[in-house]
């Protein structure tokens, strides 16, 4: 009984060799992955920051400088150079450092996956002045019109927020707080409106009264690079 | 003789043993990312990089890889190349990477790649393994491009984002949705089989004529 077993053991490499081979391969693979991660991280971070910066400038026309603002301890404070999270919005300022408006990131469920967007809001006029979809996986050809269809995006170029933003059937827009939904992508259109309304409700009580927004703090990084 | 052989190892993946149209492998990326020609090209290039790199390493170390753990080792090698491709695309082409989404990491699971390691690279010299990998991934890229072009032209009315028709063209949206992928792939497979059958019939006729002539 023991003879065939031992002859098998001679032919097959020992367990230690197998473990060693796998461990060595895993180690090398791990090192390569760490190296490529470290090598590409600065570019990837810079790409993301540039994308966000470009989006802020797009949704807030006339802005030349921006700074992150964070809601902390019951009030909105300037938070330059800090890690951004879901308590962070962006303040846009003109060349003379006068406050213009907020760029507010928001996210919510779309037709297929989470839609992430950014909208520009002028608190003095209670008006949305621009909207950009940052990330979405809506149906190609239909739902993706929420960012590919210029006419739909233009709905948000001057949009009153009171009492609430409403999506109307295409061509039925009549009031300043209404938008034309996309034919064939009603769910995606309504999702965008719902995300904006929810974000607005969330931030309504947190924004300081118009005229007392946090001032631009002079730090590197607040200069617009566009 | 040797040159003939090398050419043969390369060209078989492009046509006779085309991974998509003949072996019907790698269907997941084939159907998922071919809604535009540029996506097809980038996916094909990423797959080419992974397949050639993995085949080279597997052929180089084929005598050192213990048989019992060879599949795990192949997967580790493939996964490493995929991660490199993933991060490189994310850094260099963030827009295309966004469109391809999860399908770049999923190259790990492309059975064409693991299949070439097991069936070819682990049994042949480095030179032939690389040639085979180049041929197979070129065939894969051609198939992706064929599908991607048809779907982009019909579904978006453009090719490589260049509009082909006037504003009156109503895009055939279903072509860039999943059903369009299945439909186009089915028709292309039909065409490929028809060509193969015709060729076989023709060769048979030639052979019959030669027999009669003799």
- What's the pTM value of the predicted model, to 2 decimals? 0.75
- Average pLDDT, stretch B197-203? 90
Q: Do B88 and A40 touch (CB under 8 A)?
A: yes
Residue range A69-112, pLDDT digits in tens? 888 877 888 877 666 777 888 888 888 888 888 999 899 998 88
Mutate to test the interface with A, among B36, B66, B167, B175 (most CBs of A within 10 A): B66
Give which of B87, B41, B79, B85 is closest to B57, Cα–Cα: B79
Distance separating alpha carbons of residues A157 and A101, to the nearest angstrom:
14
Q: How many CB pairs under 8 A join A and B?
A: 66
A163 cis-preceded (ω within 30 degrees of 0)? yes
Residue range B139-193, pLDDT digits in tens? 999 999 999 999 998 888 888 888 888 777 888 888 888 888 899 999 989 998 8
Distance separating alpha carbons of residues A186 and A164, to the nearest angstrom:
18
Give which of A98, A68, A96, A70 is closest to A81, Cα–Cα: A68
What are the residue ranges spanned by the domains of chain B?
2-213
Residue range A31-53, pLDDT digits in tens? 999 999 999 999 988 888 888 88
Q: Return all residues near A12 (Cβ < 8 A) that are at least 6 apart.
A: B68
Q: Which of B73, B91, B155 sits opposite A141 (nearest CB)?
A: B155
The DSSP string of B80-137 is: HHHHHHHHHHHHH-HHHHHHHGGGTGGGGG-HHHHHHHHHTGGGS-HHHHHHHHHHHH
Q: Other CB atoms closer than 10 Å to residue B55's CB: what's the count?
A: 29
CB-based contact, A11 to chain B, within 8 Å: no
What tokens were used for B88? 């490189």
Q: Is residue A74 helix, strand or coil?
A: coil
Q: Do A29 and B65 touch (CB under 8 A)?
A: no
Q: Return all residues near A165 (Cβ < 8 A) that are at least 6 apart.
A: A128, A159, A177, A178, A179, A193, A196, A197, A200
Q: Which of A18, A25, A135 sits opposite B76 (nearest CB)?
A: A25
What tokens were used for A159? 């949009």
Q: Do B91 and A22 touch (CB under 8 A)?
A: no
Q: Which of A13, A28, A44 sits opposite B91 (nearest CB)?
A: A44
Give which of A179, A198, A208 is closest to A76, Cα–Cα: A208
User: Backbone phi, then psi, for B120, in 5-degree steps?
Assistant: -130, -60
Q: Do B173 and A37 touch (CB under 8 A)?
A: no
What are the residue ranges spanned by the domains of chain A?
46-204
CB-based contact, A164 to chain B, within 8 Å: no
| B194 against A83, higher pLDDT | B194
What tokens were used for A156? 């948000």
Classify burial at A170, counting beta carbons within 10 Å of its beta carbon; exposed 0-12, middle 13-18, buried 19 or more. middle
Please count the CA atoms within 13 angstroms of the CA of B167 that sit on its side-chain side: 0
């Amino acid at each position: 009984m023991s003879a065939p077993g031992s002859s098998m053991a001679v032919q097959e490499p020992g367990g230690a060799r197998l473990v060693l081979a796998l461990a060595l391969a895993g180690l090398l693979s791990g090192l390569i992955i760490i190296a490529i991660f470290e090598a590409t991280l600065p570019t990837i971070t810079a790409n993301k920051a540039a994308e966000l910066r470009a989006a802020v400038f797009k949704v807030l026309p006339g802005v030349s400088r921006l700074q992150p603002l964070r809601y902390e301890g019951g009030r909105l404070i300037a938070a330059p150079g800090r890690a951004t999270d879901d308590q962070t919005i962006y303040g846009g300022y003109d060349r003379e450092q006068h406050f213009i408006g907020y760029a507010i990131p928001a996210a919510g469920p779309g037709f297929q996956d989470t839609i992430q967007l950014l909208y520009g809001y002028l608190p003095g006029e209670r008006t949305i002045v621009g909207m950009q979809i940052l990330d979405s996986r809506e149906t190609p050809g239909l739902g993706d019109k929420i960012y590919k269809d210029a006419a739909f995006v233009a709905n948000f170029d001057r949009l009153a927020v009171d009492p609430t933003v409403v999506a109307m059937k295409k061509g039925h827009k009549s009031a300043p707080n209404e938008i034309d939904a996309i034919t064939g992508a009603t769910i995606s259109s309504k999702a965008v409106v719902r995300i904006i309304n929810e974000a607005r409700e969330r931030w309504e009580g947190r924004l300081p009264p118009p005229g007392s927004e946090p001032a631009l703090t002079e730090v590197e990084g607040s200069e617009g690079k566009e | 003789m040797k040159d003939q052989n090398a050419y043969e190892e390369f060209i078989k993946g492009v046509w006779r043993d085309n991974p998509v149209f003949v072996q019907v492998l790698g269907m997941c990326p084939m159907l998922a990312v071919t809604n535009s020609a540029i996506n097809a090209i980038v996916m094909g290039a990423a797959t080419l990089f992974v397949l050639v790199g993995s085949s080279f390493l597997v052929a180089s170390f084929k005598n050192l890889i213990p048989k019992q753990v060879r599949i795990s080792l192949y997967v580790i090698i493939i996964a490493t190349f995929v991660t490199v491709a993933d991060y490189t695309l994310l850094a260099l082409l963030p827009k295309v990477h966004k469109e391809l989404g999860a399908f770049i990491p999923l190259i790990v699971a492309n059975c064409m790649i693991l299949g070439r390691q097991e069936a070819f690279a682990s049994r042949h010299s480095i030179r032939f393994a690389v040639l085979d990998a180049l041929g197979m991934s070129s065939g894969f890229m051609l198939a992706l491009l064929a599908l991607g072009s048809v779907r982009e032209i019909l579904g978006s009315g453009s090719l490589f984002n260049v509009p082909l028709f006037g504003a009156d063209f109503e895009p055939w949206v279903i072509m860039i949705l999943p059903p369009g992928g299945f439909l186009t792939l089915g028709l292309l497979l039909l065409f490929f089989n028809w060509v193969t059958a015709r060729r076989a019939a023709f060769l048979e006729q030639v052979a019959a004529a030669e027999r009669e002539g003799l």
